[in-house]
Amino acid sequence: MPIKEQTLRLIDELKATCKSYGMGNDGNEYKIITQVFLYKFLNDKFGYEIKHAKSELAARIQSAPKWELAYAELNDNERMLLQCAISPDVPVLEPYHLIAHLWNQQSKGDFDTIFDNTMTDIAEKNADIFSTQTSGHTKIPLFEPLTHYVTDTAQRASFARALVDKLVNFSFEAAFKQHYDFFASIFEYLIKDYNTSGGGKYAEYYTPHA
């Protein structure tokens, strides 16, 4: 299936998941859909960048059957060198931030907490570069906890699992070989059901950089 069709299907599946847990076309669903989709986008973009970094370590990542495992197996110094070799436009992710790592944590009973903590940790570690400010100069983080939007606390872990399940079936890597306009058009589809002004703080991550 072409990457565009796969991407649109992912958005539809995320929306269907939110609907099945009591949300539909409201502000809470908008926050969940945009942040989870952005998480997938940044996870795959980070993988693409470290595979193509100007570093001798990139070849090791690129040749590995699973880049996430190869990245996790680097020592701290190697990982830091590789992180410094990628574009500053890409948030830095640690091995425990990756979707593959979350996938392997799904059997844990507190998976909702694990999921939320992963999102907020990514935001905190990249806050100096990847956050926006209100008119009152209050920083708005890249990600925030999401599972609390599910009213039934007993359903929050399964909701987090359902979201992660949708993210592991394909990679955006083929799209990164195209132009960023691919994601700009996808983002229009992403927000079409919500009353937003151009996508708010998330739109900038899908539009071409000057």
- What domains can be seen in the chain, in order of their start residue? 3-193 (1.20.1260)
**pLDDT value at position 179?**
61
Question: Among candidates 163, 149, 173, which has minimal Cα distance to 51?
Answer: 173
Taking the whole predicted model, whether its pTM rises above 0.85 is answered as yes
Residue bearing tokens 């495992």: 69
Question: Per-residue pLDDT averaged across 101-108, rounded?
Answer: 97
**pLDDT value at position 158?**
98
* Residue 56 C-alpha from the chain's centroid: 26
Q: Where does the pLDDT of residue 136 fall: very low under 50, low under 70, confident under 90, or very high at 90 and above? A: low
Q: Where are the alpha helices (DSSP H) in the chain?
A: 3-20, 27-51, 57-63, 67-72, 76-84, 99-103, 111-125, 156-167, 173-176, 181-191
Residue 119 DSSP class: H
* Tokens read off for 77: 């110094």
* Tokens read off for 169: 């079936």
